[in-house]
Amino acid sequence: MKKAPGKTAAEPPQVALWVAVRRPGSGRYYDWALAAHDQGDGRWYQFEAVRFQPRGPFQAHFPTTDPRPTAVRMVAVCRLPRADLADLRETVHHVVINPADANYDNQDYIIAAFDALRRRGFISDGDDEAAWRALMPFFGWQDVSFARRARDRKRALRRRGIILSEEFVYDTDSE
């Protein structure tokens, strides 16, 4: 069948690779997760290092949920053919977490995953550099406590008459 003049064939579905940046539950470091979105079937695949116990060791965790609802920022990395998804997942599953490093965190895991994906040719040098420029404001120790930042935001909203939950309706310290 011939294409109509001026029309292009529909682009085949691809896999979009992202880094999901999240506020931490505690501490002063943003949590990062690598996320692959299969645009053919809509599935998400996440790759992250998490602690299941406070001060416990980091462990690789691979949820298959959409990271966008919990992300502060979604940083685009690259797009890949769907045929590469299985190899990409296999590559990241083999990234080793270093339990001997006391300063190891989930950002280190994503850095190691980037290195592995770049070595295998999934991420180009240009995509790597662009992603890092976008991630730099979220890298390393942050100067502001996340708990304090959230509390200040709630107070500012209350001053403007915006109630975030029923908890604030009966709050006596604002009277």
pLDDT, position 166: 46
Which is nearest to 112 in space by CA: 4, 14, 175, 32?
32
pLDDT, position 9: 54
Element (H, E) at 48: strand 44-51
Residues facing residue 8 across a β-bridge: none
Mean pLDDT in each 10-residue stretch from start to end of the chain (175 residues)? Answer: 45 89 79 94 93 82 94 93 94 89 85 93 92 88 59 57 48 43
Buried b (16+ CB within 10 A) or exposed e, 93-126: eebeeeeeeeebbbbbbbbbbbebbeeeebbeee
CA distance 116 to 102: 22
pTM for the whole structure: 0.73
Domain positions in the chain: 14-143, 145-175
pLDDT, position 69: 93
